[in-house]
Every structure is written in C-alpha cells, then in structure tokens.
Amino acid sequence: MNKKIIFGLLASAALTLSCAQQTKTNGPVYLDNNAPIEERVEDALSRMTVEEKVAMTHAQSKFSSPGVPRLGIPEVWCTDGPHGIRPEVMWDEWEQAAWTNDSSTAFPALTCLAATWNEEMSLLYGQSIGEEARYRNKNILLGPGVNIYRTPYNGRNFEYMGEDPYLSGKMVVPYIKGVQQNAVAVCVKHYALNNNEVNRHTTNVHIDDRTLYEIYLPAFKAAVQEGQAWSIMGSYNLYKGQWNCHNQYMLNDILKGEWGFDGVVVSDWGGVHDTDQSVYNGLDLEYGSWTNGLTMGRSNAYASYFLADAYLEGIKSGKYGTKELDDKCRRILRLIFRTTMSANRPYGRFTCPEHYAAARKIGAEGIVLLKNDGVLPIDVKKVKKVLVVGENAVKMMTVGGGSSSLKVQHEISPLDGLKARLNGIAEVVYERGYVGDASGEYNGVTTGQDLSESRSAAKLIADAVAAAKTADYVIFVGGLNKSAHQDCEDSDRFSYGLPYNQDAVIEALAEANKNLVVVNISGNAVAMPWVDKVPAIVQDWYLGSEAGNSLADVLVGDVNPSGKLPFTFPVAYEDGPLKTVEQYPGVDQGRTGGVEAYDVPIFEMTYSEGVFVGYRWYDTKNIKPLFAFGHGLSYTTFEFGEAKVSKASMTQDGEVTVTVDVKNTGKVAGAEVVQLYIADHEASVERPTKELKGFSKVYLEPGQAAQVSFTIKKDALSFFDAQKHEWVAEKGKFSALVGSASDKILASVDFELK
C-alpha cells in the first residue's frame, strides 16, 4: 500500500470518527438521519415513558395516532386507499372536513391494474398514488388489497387483484415499491380470508392449511417478503375463532413468525374486540374502535380503546408486562423512521398532468376486449353518428363503493371521452336506456349530478331503440355502479345478473343495430344472456379520473387492447364452486363472539371447495366459462411457435427454461400476454388441472417476433403439504402449457422432476 493511500484512509477514518462524535455531542441518535434505523428505534424507545408508549399504540382521531410530542416524533396519519387519496374527514366523524384543496386524482380500480398483467403499470401506479399521499402528508396509505376473488358476489372484489394468487402476488409488489419510494408506507389489506362483505365482522372461516397457504396467503406473503411492505391491515373476520386483528395464528405464527414481518399490524377500523388478545396476539396499532357514545364523562374517548387505558392500567397492576408493548412501539417507530423521519423523504405532487397521464394509460391497458366480431375499433374514417346508451356512460363512478370513495378534481365520463375523441369527426348522441341509481353521495361527498328521470322503463328503451336505428355504432355503457349491493363495501351482490333491466335494453338494441358494442363497467363478473346477439363486448372497470379517455382510446383503436381477465366469468353463478350455505354466506351455529366484549352471533363459513377457486375449479370440473381467466382479445393477431424446454428433466434444486416464439401476424402494433401454466401429471393430492406460474407481456410491431422464456424452479411445481407444513414438489412428469388465456393453450412441452 503506498503512503498516499494510507494517509487517505487515516484521514477518512478520522473524519468518520469526528462525524460520529459530532452526532453524539450534537443530539440524540434517534434524531440523526444518518444513523441506522434500528439504532434510532432503540434510542427513541429508551427515552419513552410507558404512557407515551401506550399512547402510540392506538388512534387519537379517525385517521391519526400520536407520535411522541415531547421528543419531536411526529404523529402517524393514514388515508384510504387504494385508488386515490380520500378527502379529509372530521377529527372523529366520517363526515367531510369540507376542505377545498383535497380533491385528488382517481386511479383505476385494482381489478383494472391486475388486468394489465404488466408489472410496469403497477410500479407507475404505486409511484403516482404514493406521490399524492406524500403531498397530502400521509405516511400510511390504506391499500393495496389482495384478497382473493372467491365469489362474484363479493362487494369489494373491485378493490382487489383477482382470483389467482400468483398474478396478485406479482402485481402487488411493484405497487408497494412505488408507494414506499415516497416514504409513505403501504398497508396491505385485508389480512386475511376477508373474501366477502356480508357479515364481514362476524364470519369465522374454516379452511384447511393447504388451501390457506396455496390460495389465500401467497399474495400477502409476496407483499411482505418481496414488496417489503411496512404495514399490513388485519381483517374484520375471524379465523379459528379469533378475530384477525388479534389472531395468534395469522399474526404471530404466520406473518411475524414464518414470514419475518418487521412492520406494523394496523387493525381494520373497528376490528378490535379485546384487550388481552390485542396485547398478545400480534396487533400493533388500533384504529377505528367505536368512540360514539363513549365521550360522555370523558375528556378523550380514545382512552376507551382496547389498547388505551385498559392496557396502561393492566401494565401498572402487573397484569401485562412491557415486552409486547416495546415490540409494538419498535414497529411503529420503525415505520416513522422509514417515512416521516426518513432522511430521504421526497415532497410528492398532486393532481398533476403526470398523474392523469398515468391513470389514463393504466386504464386503457387494463380494459379487456371480451368479444369482437369485427365491429371494433370504431372506424374514424367512416363514422358519422355514434349513439351512446346507458347510465354508466354519464354517472360519476369515483363517488361510492365505501372507503375507497373519492372526491376528485375531475372525472371524464365515457360519454365525454367519446365526444372529445370524435369531436369534428362524428356526431355523438346520448340516450339513457335505463335508470340505475340516480343518487350520488358518499360520506357527504356529492357528485352534484342531476340524474333524475321521469320516463318509464318501456319509454326509455323505445327512445334508445329509435335513436339506434340511425346510428353507425351503438355503444351501450352499463354494468354495476358501486351503490349498495352493486360493487360496494359492507354489502355483497344479491344476484349474478345485471341490475336495472339492462338485459332487456341490450336485447332491444341488438335487434335495432348490428354494430352494437356493450361496455360493462364492474369489478365483478356478470351474466351475459345476450352474449351471442352482441357483436362486441368490452370489460371496462372503475377507471377513475380519466375513465372516459381511456375507454375512448381503446374504442377508436388509439390504444390496441391488451388487458386480460384477472378472474373468470362463468356462464351462471351456479356453475361456480360455492354450492352450499356452509360455503357462503355461512351459518349461525349458535356460538357467539368468544370474547366477553363482543357477544354477537358468529357465522361459520367453510371453504370446502379447497384450492378449487376460479379457473382451478372450472378447468378441473370441465365447465366451460363465458370468458375464461386470462382471456382478452386484441385488434391484431398473434401466433405462437413451438414450446421448447432447455432440458428434459430437472432436480429438486435445479431448473428448466421454457421458451416460445410469439409473432404479431396482424396489421397493427399490439401486446400479448404470454401465460405459462403448469400441469402436474400425477400427485398424491388432488391438484387443479393447471396453475398459472408465469406471464410476460410483449409489445410487437406488425410482423415482429420475440422469444419469451420462463425459468421453472421447484416452487412452480409444488403444493403445500399440510402434514409436513411445507411446500413439496413430487417427482414425476409435468407439462408447461403456454398460451394467450387459460382456455387458449397454444404450445406445450413436458419435462420431468427427478
């Protein structure tokens, strides 16, 4: 080593030493931005009194909880989630605070994000919504949601990412990374088994371990281990007789034990029922317990929370130790040092052109072309008159649906989007067709729209049919609408069919005009008894601020559709796996809440269909769906070559690579989602016919080809062995099935696991 280097090293060591000394003499470690987070956590914790610690573990208002004012440690502020930043509410009311600067950007619903099958879209989504949360000074975003789509009746499916654990797991990770780049924590919800809204506070789920680990946990696990989520929300329901906000098995054993989660377990709002269980069973931060009526005679109703006075008194009397309290506070402090007290905290931005562009892009990429007999795209060179029919073409969809409801700066309706795009090209006229829900209010946010209508149902149809006769294209925009029982929190749907007489309107329009396009806006599958009479069907979603622009982009072909269904559309609800009331909506077997504080009837729900959820059910039982999982058409065509495997066999710790060539054989550029499913030829347990284990979205110019490859390792071949409590891949033959939908396998190749 030459002298210069030695001198340099000594000098830099001296500098480091003096910086460290300086930090020490200048102030406490927890305030030192450059100190490792764990040192800051320990230092802060060592300075806190037991009262300050207990205060930190429960809310002080609807959406905030205390920091440590004496030490300059800031409060925690949460916001819904997951599609945009919720407007401000009163301190302890759900009603509006009536701010005039909190109208946000609404991004597409998570069903749409999942339908892009594009991880880049998920990152863009996370970055954008994270910037909005940061700008609004929130450090926990209540989302994303990854509960698996078990039934098309679930009112909250639109907030989740579909029926497949692999797809949800892949799509949730970039969202988390994007949000957390902004020094805003995600709060992944609702952990776990909250797969319906009916009786959501009082459903006790019975499920075997294999199903739990294979279907309902993987997306949460990916969020925690790959996404490194900084917080997670316990769900309202029970599992093994304990509420999930304080559940030994879910929180201590699996989440914190098996997965090593180091973040904060936040309760769902009002999901906490017991102090003992909250102390011991993994809850860290209590929110939303009902304070109504508790204010009488108390200066602070939040002192009545399960983790408030009762906890402090319990510690003082020796009933509880402080080990659990310190663990809760460590986690909350860690979150604060990762967010508000992080040295790398950006500033965020709000309702900016970039966010609207992101919303529009994600929206257009998630739209799924279900059927097209050559009607779409609208031919802008020939079209003279377009008739738009349906309430959903004009109704604001960002208001409603429950806690994800927003107050937006703007929302482009489908009608406005089409009018803007066809301005100067064609006349765009509108007919109502049917009346759905003309009201538009959620927690005091009103749409301000007047959707009142005096015509009878018959007259509405007659007027639409008359107009349809002179139009070049008829675009019917209907579906569900986020009002109670139509894709809405706290209520499930009552039936699988479209509401408000829409089927009759569609049938009448199909007779009146052969160029009919049905656009279904929903977060759930719906029945389509008219499917054979309608030449083009588009699955639209709740697309947020830019809804109409995204839809117009696809309908005229500015964007070539490339979305794929993240869940199956069965022909009829009865085709699905839920056959008994024990499976859904559960039965009251006479037991009550199990903890003193909450003596209510509990509904026992048994997931006896096991792992046979979604396409795993339809495939295995040979039931042809209306539209399959992974289905979605394009304005171009793609050809798949032969599937090739790198080796004929692999070992338990080895891998094989499957490759396939894909070519755009049509006339316009477009994207195809190449999907890899694995089929196990023989197993000691009953396995689904095939399971998604890889996907890749490729953009191709006309005539262009690309090679897509997938690396297959043991995890893609495994099932969860409940007895051994581990993932097991059994020796034998497997098929790699490659296709453009779960029902369109275009290439396959076999290999063996030795």
C-alpha closest to that of 186 among 127, 141, 136, 130: 141
- Provide, rounded to whole angstroms, the least separation between the CB of residue 147 and ligand BGC: 10
Q: 37-59: b or e for each residue (b if 16 or more CB lie within 10 Å)?
A: beebbbbbbeebeeebbbbbbbb
- Which CB sits closer to ligand BGC, 81 or 348? 81
- Provide, rounded to whole angstroms, the least separation between the CB of residue 266 and ligand BGC: 9
- Which CB sits closer to ligand BGC, 142 or 285? 142
Name the β-bridge partners of 697: 673
- Which CB sits closer to ligand BGC, 269 or 311? 269
- Provide, rounded to whole angstroms, the least separation between the CB of residue 189 and ligand BGC: 5
- Per DSSP, the three-state class of 485 is coil
Could you give the CA distance from residue 521 to residue 539 in angstroms, rounded to a whole number?
Answer: 6
Instruction: Check binding of 80 to ligand BGC (CB under 6 A).
Output: yes
- Do the beta carbons of residue 539 and residue 341 sit within 8 Å? no
The number of residues in the chain equals: 754
Burial of 5 (0-12, 13-18, 19+ CB in 10 A): exposed
Instruction: Check binding of 268 to ligand BGC (CB under 6 A).
Output: yes
Burial of 293 (0-12, 13-18, 19+ CB in 10 A): exposed
Sign (positive or negative) of CA dihedral 642, 646, 650, 655: negative
- Which CB sits closer to ligand BGC, 264 or 674? 264
- Provide, rounded to whole angstroms, the least separation between the CB of residue 363 and ligand BGC: 22
Residues whose CB is less than 8 angstroms from the CB of residue 505 and which lie 6 or more positions away in sequence, other chains included = 389, 390, 433, 434, 460, 461, 464, 476, 478
- Which CB sits closer to ligand BGC, 262 or 490? 490
- Provide, rounded to whole angstroms, the least separation between the CB of residue 158 and ligand BGC: 12
Q: How far is CA 181 from the centre of its chain?
A: 19
- Which CB sits closer to ligand BGC, 229 or 747? 229
Which candidate in 32, 80, 164, 268 is catalytic? 268
553 is catalytic: no
How far lies 276's CA from each of 205, 273, 279, 327, 595, in Å?
A: 22, 9, 5, 15, 10
Could you give the CA distance from residue 600 to residue 592 in angstroms, rounded to a whole number?
Answer: 5
- Which CB sits closer to ligand BGC, 309 or 490? 490
Binding mask 394-423 for ligand BGC (x = CB under 6 A): ---------x--------------------
C-alpha closest to that of 675 among 620, 729, 635, 638: 638
- Per DSSP, the three-state class of 476 is strand
- Which CB sits closer to ligand BGC, 189 or 421? 189
Could you give the CA distance from residue 734 to residue 534 in angstroms, rounded to a whole number?
Answer: 40
- Which CB sits closer to ligand BGC, 131 or 197? 197
Q: Are strands 473-479 and 385-389 parallel, antiparallel or unpaired?
A: parallel
Instruction: Check binding of 84 to ligand BGC (CB under 6 A).
Output: no
Q: Are strands 719-721 and 649-650 parallel, antiparallel or unpaired?
A: unpaired
Residue 71 identity = L
C-alpha closest to that of 168 among 728, 606, 695: 695
DSSP-derived secondary structure for 672-740: EEEEEEEEES--SS---S-EEEEEEEEEE-TT-EEEEEEEE-GGGT-EEETTTTEEE--SEEEEEEEEE
- Provide, rounded to whole angstroms, the least separation between the CB of residue 143 and ligand BGC: 7
Q: Which of 189, 256, 616, 690 binds ligand BGC (CB under 6 A)?
A: 189
Q: How far is CA 233 from the centre of its chain?
A: 13
- Provide, rounded to whole angstroms, the least separation between the CB of residue 246 and ligand BGC: 16
Q: Which of 59, 142, 480, 692 binds ligand BGC (CB under 6 A)?
A: 142
- Provide, rounded to whole angstroms, the least separation between the CB of residue 446 and ligand BGC: 19
**Which residues within the stretch 534-593 sit at the binding site for ligand BGC (CB under 6 A)?**
none
Instruction: Check binding of 81 to ligand BGC (CB under 6 A).
Output: yes
- Provide, rounded to whole angstroms, the least separation between the CB of residue 142 and ligand BGC: 4
Q: 514-551: b or e for each residue (b if 16 or more CB lie within 10 Å)?
A: ebbbbbbbbbbbbbbebbeebbbbbbbbbbbbbbbbbb
Residue 425 identity = I
Could you give the CA distance from residue 190 to residue 178 in angstroms, rounded to a whole number?
Answer: 20
- Provide, rounded to whole angstroms, the least separation between the CB of residue 290 and ligand BGC: 12
- Which CB sits closer to ligand BGC, 200 or 421? 200
- What is the size of the binding site for ligand BGC (CB under 6 A)? 7
Residues catalogued as catalytic: 268
Task: Give me the residues that bind ligand BGC (CB under 6 A), please.
Answer: 80-81, 142, 189, 268-269, 403
